[in-house]
Amino acid sequence: MISLHDSKRSDGLDAEGAAVSGEWHTAPQPFSILTATWRDVGELRVLEAECFGEDAWPLLDVISVLTIGGIVRLKAVIHERMVGFIAGDPREEDTAWITTLGVRAPYRRLGIATALLAECEKQMRRPVIRLCVRKDNQPALQLYTKAGYRHVSVWWNYYRDGQDAFVLEKKLAEFNS
């Protein structure tokens, strides 16, 4: 577990001053990164819906990511509640794919996504990691760029609303020396 201090923002505004609903946290929370299991189906469905809206995975995909062999599946937990999730597919010999990464809105910008990403990369043990992200998702693009990912391709009209996806790639130094 990462041990940090609790703090809650009481004014109901995010970092840019926009109103937010529910509890908002401005200082890092202590969280654990644990392996997710099929028992997390309900919480993962809620997280997917909150993070991805109409692009959230349907129930069958949620069940699959939590049960298919070889998939790295990690959850971030605060006070026994899933606040973040990442899945990675390392089944290709040289390239692994991050298939999803989401953190519930009140817990964003606290280092949870960065920690999930780093742990998933570590567990997948592949020289190249790829992922796709909405081209208009600036917070995610900033996260991935800071983590060392670079733009390599575009998947046109990838999302339900016709938005394109950027394919990003990271070459891990420990495998590429």
Domains and CATH numbers, the chain: 32-175 (3.40.630.30)
The reported pLDDT for the residue numbered 20 is 40
User: What is each CA distance from 101 to 3, 17, 19, 78, in whole angstroms?
Assistant: 22, 25, 24, 17
The reported pLDDT for the residue numbered 28 is 56
Amino acid at position 104, single letter: R
Exposed e or buried b for every residue in 77-111, given b needs 16+ CB within 10 A?
bbeeebbbbbbbbbeeeeebbbbbbbbbbbbbbbb
Residue 44, SS3 per DSSP: helix
CA dist 105 and 103 (Å) reads 6
CA dist 122 and 99 (Å) reads 15
The reported pLDDT for the residue numbered 59 is 96
Which ranges of the chain have pLDDT less than 50? 1-27
Please identify which residue in the block is written with the tokens 């796709």: 132
The reported pLDDT for the residue numbered 91 is 86
The reported pLDDT for the residue numbered 27 is 47
The reported pLDDT for the residue numbered 173 is 78
Residue 115 Cα to chain centre, angstroms: 9
